[in-house]
Amino acid sequence: MTSPDTSGDREKVVTKLPAALRQELKVRAALNGLGMQDAVEAGITAWRGLGSNPTAIDTAGAETYATFLPAGLWDGFRSDCRGRGISLTQGVAQAVTLWLEDNPVPEVKRPDTVRRIIVCNQKGGVGKTAITAGLGEALAEDPARLFPVRVSRHFAALLEETGDPLSMEDLPGLGQRVLLVDFDPQGHLTKQLGHDPLPMDGDSLTNHMAGDGKGDLRDLVVTVEEERFGDRLHLLPACTDAFLLDVRLAAVRAREAALERALTAIESDYDVILIDCPPSLGLSMDAASYYGRRRPNEATGNSGVLIVVQAEDSSADAYGLLTSQIEDMRGDLTLDIDYLGLVVNHYDARRGYIATSSLQSWMDIKDPRVVGVIGDLKEQKEAVRAKRPLLAYAPRCEQSVALRALARETSK
């Protein structure tokens, strides 16, 4: 059955397609940057050019499916199906399968230089750990599946009292190989993801930074076990010996490079390394900032610092102290340290003028600009209690879809 499309160059076609084949078509078309109707058009065109029928497809349970095709294409395809002695449903299934075979899942693009994202703010309680975990999870999701992403082109729209400024769309997972580094001796990231901190009498990142590593750093890394991440999301757990890190670094030569020296050995295993920094402005923060500096021949914005703030006044004071320290490092050591942006966390417009005016103040800064606004919702707290990644615990909640948008914003 067909009906004209209002655009005049396509007509609506109603046919049938097995649900599993339709879902695979939806995912693969998105992965290849095409609309489903364009993929079906290409498949039918290729099928009509074949000299013989492909292998029959099981179309049991096929469901009604509608798409738009160029005027005349469906009539010609229907005539070809009659001539080849097969049903329209079988013909469409063969055409879609042919397109899928000709358009495999594209390779995930790997960065030339491992991305190093330093998630920081010297103020505690702003949610650095939640942002580190959620961003890493969003970067590691399955590249052969679609996930809901909440996209807002203008964060200022969040301040509007009416209407929904945000739009949802299904996009492929980013499929990055991600290492989360719990650089905070409190170990919140480690515990949130269901792991135990490293024992004090064993090996640790602190030991490797101080030049006293007891083995291969890889042996300390654990996998975050969730199907949607495959084997792409790993964690370097915290150890409480990190409370002594600044003291130990004081005796280390070129101490600002200590974190880089420790992690260099495992960088080749990953596309992105995220550092969950402690609420501190000590030597550990210097080492983290240095690690996030732009390396020779590295693209601007590939690595750098991502600052987590809240829509309230005390965050502004902490932000000033942190950026002063980063600027001092930039000048003293002649480094290029890029700001990847500001993430306004725990945002809730219902808190009134303090929240909305503070958000406006963050957006007014412009450089660094706001790259994410994450709501203050119950799902994050529930995921922490369950000791599961948020994007696995509540993949469609507002925080999850916003974190996927943040992952894409920081990957540009």
How confident is the model over 169-223, as pLDDT tens digits? Answer: 888 899 999 999 999 999 999 999 999 999 998 999 999 999 999 899 999 999 9
Residues 74 and 22 in one domain: yes
Question: Radius of gyration of the chain from Cα atoms?
Answer: 25
For 349, list phi and psi in degrees, rounded to 5: -65, -20
220 vs 332 pLDDT, higher one: 220
- Domain presence at residue 317: yes
Residues 265 and 331 in one domain: yes
- Domain presence at residue 110: no
Residues 178 and 152 in one domain: yes
Domains of the chain: total: 2
Residues 201 and 335 in one domain: yes
Question: What is the model's pLDDT at position 166?
Answer: 57
Residues 303 and 195 in one domain: yes
DSSP 8-state code for residue 152:
-
Domain with 171 in it: what CATH number?
A: 3.40.50.300
Question: What is the model's pLDDT at position 45?
Answer: 96
Residues 234 and 301 in one domain: yes
Amino acid at 270: Y
Residues 54 and 131 in one domain: no
- Asked if 190 and 196 touch (Cβ cutoff 8 Å), the reply is yes
Question: What is the model's pLDDT at position 277?
Answer: 94
Residues 258 and 216 in one domain: yes
What is the spatial distance between Cα 308 and Cα 318, in angstroms, rounded to a whole number?
10
Residues 76 and 145 in one domain: no
Vertex 53 angle, CA 45 and 46, to 5°? 15
Amino acid at 256: E
What is the spatial distance between Cα 296 and Cα 39, in angstroms, rounded to a whole number?
42
Q: At residue 4, does pLDDT exceed 60?
A: no
- Domain presence at residue 141: yes
Domain boundary among 38, 68, 102: 102
Vertex 29 angle, CA 23 and 33, to 5°? 145
User: How many beta carbons lie within 10 A of that of residue 288, not counting itself?
Assistant: 24
Domain that residue 41 falls in: 2-102
- Domain presence at residue 292: yes
**For the chain, how many helices (H) and strands (E)?**
15, 13
Report the range of poorest mean pLDDT among 154-163, 245-254, 265-274, 398-407.
154-163
Strand 2-4 versus strand 222-223 pairing type:
unpaired
DSSP 8-state code for residue 198:
B
Residues 220 and 270 in one domain: yes
Residues 192 and 320 in one domain: yes
For 43, list phi and psi in degrees, rounded to 5: -65, -45
Residues 182 and 222 in one domain: yes
